[in-house]
Chains A and B, each alone.
Chain A
Amino acid sequence: MRPDNQALPKKWILPALVIGLAGLMLTIAHFYREEGPQPLQEKDIPVVMGHREGCFLCHQEMTGLSPSHDPLAIGCSSCHQGNPLSADKEMAHQGVVKVPGNMETVMATCGQSDCHRDLAVKVTGSLMATGQGMVSVNRYVFGETQSPDGPGHLSHLSSSAADTHLRQLCVTCHLGFPKTVSAAIDEKSRGGGCTACHIDYSAEARQQMADYHQSRELPRLHPALNIKVGNERCFGCHSRSARISLNYEGWHETLLKPKEAKQLEKFRILQDRRVLTFQGADVHHEKGMLCLDCHSARDAMGDGTGYNHQGEQVEIACIDCHRQDQGRFVTYGDLDADSIKILQLRNVENRKSTEYLASDRTGRPLINLTRGPDGAVRFQGKLDQQPRELKTPAAACTAIPEHDRLTCQTCHTRWAPTCIECHTQYLPDKQRKDHYTGEKVQGVWREYKEEFLALPPVMGVRMDKRLKREVVDTFIPGMILTIGGISDNRPDSNAPPEKDPDRYQVFRRMFAPTFSHTVQLESRSCQSCHQDPRVLGLGEGRIEYGTVTDRTGEIPIQFTPESRRHPADGLPRDAWTSFLETKTRDTATRTGSRPFNRVEQQQVLRVGQCLLCHPPDPGNSARIYTRFAQALEERPSQCLQTPKPTQ
């Protein structure tokens, strides 16, 4: 107890003064802030989707969007977030999303429950967003996993050797890579979520955006959001890796520099300074077809299933258009809501009285393959609405029983980009940007390429998961490469600072099944497969046939490779497999894919021996090649030896 005569301690005045003054000053500052346009009336601020949209105070009369995306119908903040209830510029722009379509914000913007929720969910789980195969195969190649299948997501990468390799060299090619600049899609565009494919800057919109960067005058023309997905929107990403976008239009990437390009007859230089030569376009491109015309929305955006590899997600198949049978059709009333919506948006004529072909692989409708009331089946370009004739396969496609495992592209591929040998090395002294984090990192993965040629593809065998059987398909080198600079599955900071191809920890010789998108109308010649060792996966070289004494014996065949042998495994540097040997382990980037085994090589080459004397004209085809097993039995004795030198 305090004695009565002791005074109570004084109350603290100073904190009160400080707090009071601070409050006063902030209040004054608040009232002297720059206000928005004045004086404001109710009519200046429209009501959109149940609330006042303050964005219109500055961003009036924004045009360029379709009626369903019109700002007066859905507002600005429903996509761009921010605070529509403030006239103060800074406050209004708090939390604003410049590019709503980016994957990181898509579920709150395009994918809101009232809008494109289902599509956004499918897309975020699709291969263009996850890149699962890219990650799982890369880890397999680097030796970090035992199989090319497995989990993986380009937005969840570690700091292992394989993943840092991806982060520096490959990771921008997925939808999760954010678009940060408001600009039209060009050759170098990568990522951006929904905006990767669906944003469309007209020339006028581009101009206004350029003006804005100069003079800060607000654009009045918003880029359109549409489904007019032309090839240029696929180009940025698909002109890399298997180069599908380039192949389709006939362009092959060389290793030349731009100033060396002038020596070429027909060349093209891309924005990123890669030099291309013309090798021959896909016949579908020559007919004016776009990527979109074959690849349905489900192909590209996914169907909700998380696939591991690209080939599993794709729905379209050659036989959908080039049918040998009647096909199954779906009526308009049975179409799914998305297909109906797309037909409405494209304003397709007579869509309600048309039937739609069901895809052979999945049974789901392909909306530009139709059957009208007259019973005729038609193909229609999705953007130009122009019909194109559907050709049925030639009789030759099914004439030879031994060809029943062949895919269409085995005979009808003009060329495929083929890389021979490379070396990938970790250089600890260099720096570069890690696209995953956006920051510069110490230690760089560099690829040293040897040759990059346009050649007819190699053949091999693939296990088709949908058909549940093996098929013969086209393959290109996934890689024939050495990787140096790895220590314990991590980039080795003690690796040599300069290129050293003789020092490596991993050697891989694996081919990848590919559909190179260079389809040609004419089939390749019989000789180009049956007599070409390179196509069989043996590498360039000379095949020589020997002699046998009786019909039951196998004709001895000799192969002399032309290319030098790779020190790592002794095989020719452009080969896939060994001559008359069966290789099954670590040969391909897909489980179930493999080069021809010993028996298959013998079977193919045996036909090649016949072709030396019996060209594949109609007479010989009828007598020999369409009944080959019996023809072998009936061989006269002169067939048992090879009369002239082999090619």
Chain B
Amino acid sequence: MPGSIFNFWNLRCSTFGNLAFAAFIIAVVSGIPLSIAYDVERASDSLQLILLTSQSAVFFRSLHYWSGQAFLLFTLIHVIEHLSKNSERGLKEGLWLRLVLALLFAFFVMVSGFILKADVEGRMARQILSGLLEIIPMVGTELRIAVLGNADSLKLIYIHHLITTTLFIGIVIIEHMRRAWPELLSYVYLLGVSAMLAVLIPQGLQLSGAAKIRGPWYFMGLQELLHWIPNPLVVMVLLTGGLLIFLLLRWMKGAGSGWTKKGLFVLLVVYGVLTINNWGFRDANWNSLFF
């Protein structure tokens, strides 16, 4: 049944892969004017001035944000679609590895953008990510330094967000799609929707520590996990395990592959439930209506 929905969508509209690629390009291009105005040495202040002094910068920032969210969302749907069709078996091994890495980088490019806001939420996200990396045995601190850099500077995160991850993701997408450009229709959809959202729901900054701080939507489930499981290393092990299983899908066959995929999908649904609980049923002090 899901296959027929995907097919319908792909025939009438644009494929999710195209949409994700279009979103990626719009995010990159809309990020260029932002990178001119943004000053990583005084990140929060430069963003605040941007918001106050330039209508076009407000627009491009929101466009950058919404196209970025669309990129992640469509990428995830694209992955689910193609895993349900066992398309991964047709990919070269090296490409599959690079794609998995690119997916990981995609999450990082998103959260690095969140951190670069340098507001209360951004600082919290950085602290949590830093803490999670540090607890990895043996390589934790080095990994944290390589990913996040100096504790009092956003420079390295900025470089990763602008260049390292973006380049890698871009190259892998092109290698994967075997074209340098998504189809025109996907641009029209993405630009239209992102522009509408950018105008109707512009992005600001979270200045107050009193308001409920949620973090990015794709990590709310992770936040719930971290709330429930006292030892964050256990969470890291679970995440790494999940990633490894996902990686190994390329080499699984037959019933094993089918059950693993179903299992991963169930985990995704559970993650979704945790996300909804965090988003809708917890107050600023983590008191919950249900559990």
Whether the complex brings A and B within 8 Å at their CB atoms is answered yes
Whether A113 and B199, one on each chain, are in contact in the complex, defined by CB atoms closer than 8 angstroms, is no
Shortest CB distance B13–A (Å):
6
- B51–A16 touching, CB < 8 Å: no
- A residues in contact with B289, CB < 8 Å: none
- A27-B59, A30-B59, A85-B207 known; A11-B193 Cβ under 8 A: no
Find out whether the CB atom of A108 lies under 8 angstroms from the CB atom of B210: yes
Q: Which residues 9-43 of A sit at the B interface, judged by CB distance below 8 A?
A: 9, 11-13, 15-17, 19-24, 26-27, 29-31, 33, 35-36, 40-42
In the complex, per-residue mask of B155-196: 1 if CB is within 8 Å of any chain A CB, else 0: 000000000000000000000000000000100110111111
**Contact for A85 among B48, B198, B199, CB less than 8 A:** B48
Interface contact A86-B207, CB-CB below 8 Å: no
Q: Which of A46-54, A178-186, A484-492 interfaces with chain B?
A: A46-54
Contact between chains at A16 and B195 (CB < 8 Å)? no
Q: At the interface, yes or no: B36 with Cβ under 8 Å from chain A?
A: no
B49 part of interface (Cβ distance < 8 Å) = yes
Closest chain B residue to A36 by CB distance? Answer: B52
A85/B55 contact (C-beta < 8 A), A11-B11, A27-B199 known? no
Q: Mark B187-220, 1 if CB is under 8 A from A, else 0.
A: 0110111111011101011010110000000000
Q: Is the CB of A30 within 8 A of B55?
A: yes
Restricting to B123-155, which residues have a CB under 8 Å from any CB of A?
none
Given contacts A19-B192, A27-B59, contact A42 B199 (CB under 8 A): no
Does B45 lie at the interface of the complex (its beta carbon under 8 Å from any beta carbon of A)? yes
Complex interface: chain A residues within 8 A of B4 (CB): none
Q: Which residue of B lies closest to A94 (CB)?
A: B204
A30-B192 contact given A9-B11, A51-B44, A54-B52, CB 8 Å threshold: no
Contacts of A23 on B, CB cut-off 8 Å? 191-196
Distance A45 CA – B192 CA, assembled complex (angstroms): 33
Residues in B with CB closer than 8 Å to A31 are 55-56, 59
A9 and B11 CA atoms in complex are apart in Å by: 7
Q: Is the CB of B55 within 8 A of A35?
A: yes
1/0 per position for B32-55, CB-CB distance to A under 8 A? Answer: 000000000000110011011101
CB contacts under 8 Å to A, within B250-272, are: none
Nearest to B62 among chain A residues (CB) is: A30
Return the CB mask of A105-142 against B: 1 if under 8 Å, else 0.
00010001100000000000000000000000000000
Nearest residue, chain A, Cβ from B10: A11
- The residue in chain B whose Cβ has the minimal distance to the Cβ of A78 is B208
A12 & B12 in contact (Cβ 8 Å cutoff): yes
> Is A348 in the interface zone, CB < 8 Å from B?
no
How far is B202's CA from A23's CA once the two chains are assembled, in angstroms?
A: 14
B193 touches A19 (CB 8 A): yes
* Chain A min CB distance to B189 (Å): 6
Nearest-neighbor residue (CB-CB) of B202 within chain A:
A91
**A86/B12 contact (C-beta < 8 A), A22-B196, A26-B199, A30-B59 known:** no
**Is the Cβ of A19 less than 8 Å from the Cβ of B189?**
yes
Within 8 A of B (CB), among A210-262: none
**CA separation between A21 and B188, bound complex, in Å?**
9
**Contact indicator B189/A16 (Cβ below 8 Å):** yes
Chain A residues whose C-beta falls within 8 Å of the C-beta of B195 in the assembled complex: 23-24, 26-27
Q: Is A601 an interface residue (CB 8 A)?
A: no
Residues of B within 8 Å of A20, CB to CB, are 188-189, 191-192
Shortest distance from the beta carbon of B3 to any chain A beta carbon, whole Å: 14
Taking a contact as CB atoms under 8 Å apart, the answer to whether B199 and A11 are in contact is no
Within 8 A of A (CB), among B78-97: none
Q: Chain A, 70-95, contact with B by CB distance < 8 Å: what is the 0/1 string?
A: 00000001000001111110010000
- Contact residues in B for A88 (Cβ distance below 8 Å): 55
Most chain B CB within a 10 A radius of its CB, from A13, A19, A42: A19
In contact, A40 and B193 (Cβ under 8 angstroms): no
A8 within 8 A of B: yes
B286 to chain A, nearest CB (A): 16
B residues near A29, Cβ cutoff 8 Å: 199
Whether the Cβ atoms of A47 and B51 lie closer than 8 Å is no
Bound CA span A50–B52, Å? 15
Residue numbers in A under 8 Å from B191 (CB-CB) = 20, 23
Q: Is the CB of B48 within 8 A of A52?
A: yes
* CB-CB under 8 A for A84 and B12, given A16-B188, A20-B188: no
A87 to B55 alpha-carbon distance, docked (Å): 9
In the assembly, what is the distance between CA of A8 and CA of B59, in Å? 38
Residue contact B204 to A47, C-beta cutoff 8 Å:
no
Q: Which of B45, B59, B188, B209 has the most CB of A within 10 A?
A: B188
Q: Are B199 and A16 in contact (CB under 8 A)?
A: no
Instruction: Give bound CA distance, A29 to B185, whole Å.
Output: 23
Other-chain residue from A11, A33, A51, A84 in contact with B13 (beta carbon distance below 8 A): A11
Cβ contact within 8 Å between A52 and B52: yes
Report chain A residues within 8 Å CB of B194.
23
Residues in B neighbouring A33, C-beta threshold 8 A:
55
For B59, give the chain A residue with the smallest CB separation: A30
**In the complex, which of the residues A15, A42, A86 contacts B51, with contact meaning CB atoms closer than 8 Å?**
A86
A16-B185 in contact given A9-B11, A52-B45 (Cβ < 8 Å): yes
A45 to B198, CA, bound (A): 24
What residues of chain A lie closer than 8 Å to B45, measured between beta carbons? 47, 52
A83 to B52, CA, bound (A): 10
Q: Which residue of the partner chain B has the closest CB to A29?
A: B199
- Measured between C-beta atoms, what is the minimum distance from B188 to chain A in Å? 4
Q: How far is B207's CA from A112's CA once the two chains are assembled, in angstroms?
A: 14
User: How distant is the Cα of A113 from the Cα of B209 in the complex, in angstroms?
Assistant: 9
Contacts of A83 in B (CB 8 A): 204
The answer to whether A8 touches B11, judged by C-beta atoms less than 8 angstroms apart, is: yes
- Alpha-carbon distance A390/B237, docked complex (angstroms): 75
* Bound form: Cα–Cα A404–B134 in Å: 74
- Which A residues touch B49, using CB under 8 A? 42, 45, 52
* Chain A neighbourhood of B193, CB < 8 A: 19, 23
Q: State the CA gap A51–B209 with chains docked (Å).
A: 13
Question: Which residue of chain A has the shortest Cβ distance to B211 in the bound complex?
Answer: A108
Query: Would you give the shortest CB distance from B274 to chain A, in whole angstroms?
Result: 28
Complex Cα distance A23/B205, Å? 24
Residues of B with C-beta under 8 A to A12: 12-13
Q: Roughly how many angstroms separate A85 CA and B50 CA in the complex, as a whole number?
A: 9
The distance from the CB of B231 to the nearest CB of chain A, in whole angstroms, is: 29
Inter-subunit contact A40/B204 (CB<8 Å): no
Chain A nearest CB: distance from B144 CB in Å?
Answer: 26
Interchain CA distance A84-B59 in the complex, whole Å: 17
Indicate if the CB atoms of A22 and B192 lie closer than 8 Å: yes
Contacts of A11 in B (CB 8 A): 11-14, 185
* Distance A259 CA – B55 CA, assembled complex (angstroms): 62
Contacts of B56 in A (CB 8 A): 31
Please tell me if the beta carbons of A113 and B210 are within 8 angstroms of each other in the complex.
Answer: yes
Which of A31, A84, A85, A88: most chain B CB closer than 10 A?
A85
- Inter-chain CA distance A506–B59, complex, in Å, is 66
* A232, B238: Cα distance in complex, Å: 65
Q: Is the CB of A51 within 8 A of B207?
A: yes
Chain B residue nearest in CB terms to A57: B52
Which of A40, A47, A51 has the most chain B CB within a 10 Å cutoff?
A: A51
For residue A87, which residues in chain B have a CB less than 8 angstroms away from its CB? Answer: 52-53
Contact flag A26-B51 (CB < 8 Å), given A51-B44, A108-B210 = no
A187 CB, nearest partner CB in chain B, Å: 36
Taking CB atoms, residues of chain B closer than 8 Å to A113 are: 209-210
Q: How far is the CA of A85 from the CA of B189 in the complex (A)?
A: 30
Contacts of A21 in B (CB 8 A): 192
Q: CA of A129 to CA of B202 in the docked complex: distance in angstroms?
A: 38
- Point out the residues of chain A lying under 8 angstroms from B44, CB to CB: 50-51
Which residue of B has the minimal Cβ distance to A9? B11
Q: A12-B13, A20-B188, A52-B48 are in contact. Are A112 and B200 (CB under 8 A)?
A: no
Chain B: CB-nearest residue to A81: B208
5 interchain pairs, CB-CB under 8 A = A13-B185, A19-B189, A45-B52, A54-B52, A87-B53
The 9 closest A-B pairs by CB, nearest first: A23-B192, A23-B195, A19-B192, A52-B48, A20-B192, A26-B199, A20-B188, A40-B53, A85-B51
Q: A19-B188, A23-B194 are in contact. List 8 more A-B contacts (CB 8 A).
A: A8-B11, A20-B191, A20-B192, A41-B53, A45-B49, A77-B207, A86-B52, A112-B210
